[in-house]
């Protein structure tokens, strides 16, 4: 009689108090507290060629910068140039597009700019135009969608703008609208999600801040998703798309000039607070990225200085091997965090009937389920064997072969 091999999936439950870095589904780890570059705020940051890039910004006591740095792991940083061809500035915007890094606008010693620069290596820069069709601005946002670069809002020394511009080459720009539905603003956050661009929050010179979220599929017609998002009025916050969700973090609010809360949404309308106070110190005008299966928060303006730290999140649907965070090892869990149910996907079907077991922190077996032969998917509803919902917390899935993936249940 042939011996059969069974698949064992173990889920260990860690239930922790809300308000910590782990309690609502976000493990944050510090890559470094002292990156090679000077601490700064209002800088540009992009993901390009599987590297994270930091460009320019305002450095505490050292004024505006035009240096360029890159890193693969957030720990070791390489300086591409200490003085790019574009002037020292803060408040520029940047994207990766068409095999290049693009930098636009910003404040410099001479005022507010409307130039456009590009580079394929971060060291050598070419000026696409010194006088773009759009007016001088800083504190604007940029996204890439539908084969174009897009610029949204920003300000000169006049009231903030609510115009939208697009370009395929950085030289010729088309004004998609001179007055979008949302109010003029700067220091907002923008992302592209499910085929639409979103703009969230921001403020203007007279200090009213916004908590609205707008979206558009073409840059011309804008839909109000919510006029009062749960995260409240703020500017200088970070937004990224990661693990099939929009994440919004930190920024300045009327009650606090710097924050370190973390929010998420699957539609831009409904927002869930994931963490009230993340392990990284409160900050505004920082940068955020999704890269290598992790979400990153970089530098910004802290409560007393400009940090040069780099933080990343783990456990958001990416399998991990001890000592090598973010390395896929055979398990994928989606959605994550989850409310109703989570799908545990295996790289290959089970060769024989298997068993999925869920253990509480004290070692009690609270849920057991069969995984039939030929299946590569198990759906767990977050309940124990009696049908009662388990408490919110972090769950670690382990196949027994060194592969782990953290999942989180929220209620």
* pLDDT score of 18 more than 50: no
What ranges do the domains of the chain cover?
Answer: 8-18+319-409, 28-314
365-371: strand order across its sheet: 365-371, 354-359, 8-14, 393-398, 404-409
Fold annotation for 8-18+319-409: Immunoglobulin-like (2.60.40)
pLDDT in tens, 251-296: 999 988 999 999 999 999 999 999 999 999 999 999 999 998 889 9
CATH architecture of 28-314: 6 Propeller (2.120)
Residue with the two structure tokens 């910003």 = 106
The Cα 141–Cα 246 span in angstroms is 16
Q: Work out the mean pLDDT of the chain and round it to a whole number.
A: 84
> Do 259 and 273 touch, CB atoms closer than 8 A?
no
Confidence of residue 113 (pLDDT cuts 50, 70, 90): very high
pLDDT in tens, 352-361: 566 666 655 5
Confidence of residue 60 (pLDDT cuts 50, 70, 90): confident
Tell the burial category of 13 from Cβ atoms under 10 Å away from its Cβ (0-12, 13-18, 19+). Answer: buried
The Cα 398–Cα 391 span in angstroms is 20
Q: Of 94, 151, 142, nearest to 117 (Cα)? A: 94
């Amino acid at each position: 009689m042939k011996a059969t091999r069974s698949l064992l999936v173990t889920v260990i439950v860690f239930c922790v108090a809300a308000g910590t870095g782990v309690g609502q589904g976000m493990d944050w780890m510090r890559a470094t507290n002292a990156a090679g570059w000077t601490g700064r705020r209002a800088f540009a940051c992009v993901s390009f060629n599987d590297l994270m890039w930091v460009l320019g910004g305002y450095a505490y006591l050292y004024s505006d910068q035009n240096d360029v740095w890159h890193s693969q792991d957030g720990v070791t940083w390489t300086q591409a140039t200490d003085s790019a061809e574009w002037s020292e500035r803060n408040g520029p915007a940047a994207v990766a597009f068409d095999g290049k890094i693009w930098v636009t606008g910003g404040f410099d010693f001479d005022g507010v700019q409307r130039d456009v620069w590009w580079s394929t290596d971060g060291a050598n820069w070419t000026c696409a135009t010194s006088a773009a069709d759009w007016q001088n601005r800083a504190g604007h946002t940029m996204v890439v969608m539908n084969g174009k670069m897009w610029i949204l809002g920003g300000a000169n020394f006049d009231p903030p703008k609510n115009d939208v511009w697009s370009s395929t080459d950085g030289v010729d720009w088309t004004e998609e609208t001179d007055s979008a539905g949302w109010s003029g603003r700067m220091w907002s956050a923008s992302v592209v999600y499910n085929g639409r661009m979103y703009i969230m929050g921001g403020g203007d010179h007279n200090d009213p801040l916004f908590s609205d979220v707008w979206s558009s599929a073409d840059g011309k017609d804008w839909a109000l998703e919510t006029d009062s998002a749960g995260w409240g009025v703020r500017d200088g916050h970070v937004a990224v798309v990661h693990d099939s969700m929009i994440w919004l973090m930190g920024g300045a609010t009327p009650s606090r000039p710097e924050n370190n809360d973390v929010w998420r949404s699957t539609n831009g309308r409904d927002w869930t607070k994931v963490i009230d106070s993340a392990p990284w110190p409160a900050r505004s005008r920082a940068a955020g990225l999704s890269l290598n299966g992790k979400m990153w928060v970089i530098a910004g303006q802290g409560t007393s200085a400009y940090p040069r730290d780099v933080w990343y999140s783990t456990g958001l649907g990416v399998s991990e091997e001890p000592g090598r965070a973010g390395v896929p090892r055979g398990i994928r869990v989606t959605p994550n965090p989850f409310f109703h149910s989570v799908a545990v996907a295996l790289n290959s079907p089970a060769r024989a009937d298997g068993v999925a077991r869920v253990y509480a922190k004290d070692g009690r077996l609270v849920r057991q389920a069969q995984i039939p032969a030929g299946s590569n998917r198990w759906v767990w509803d977050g309940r124990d064997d009696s049908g009662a919902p388990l408490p919110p917390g972090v769950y670690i899935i382990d196949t027994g072969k060194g592969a782990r993936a953290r999942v989180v249940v929220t209620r």
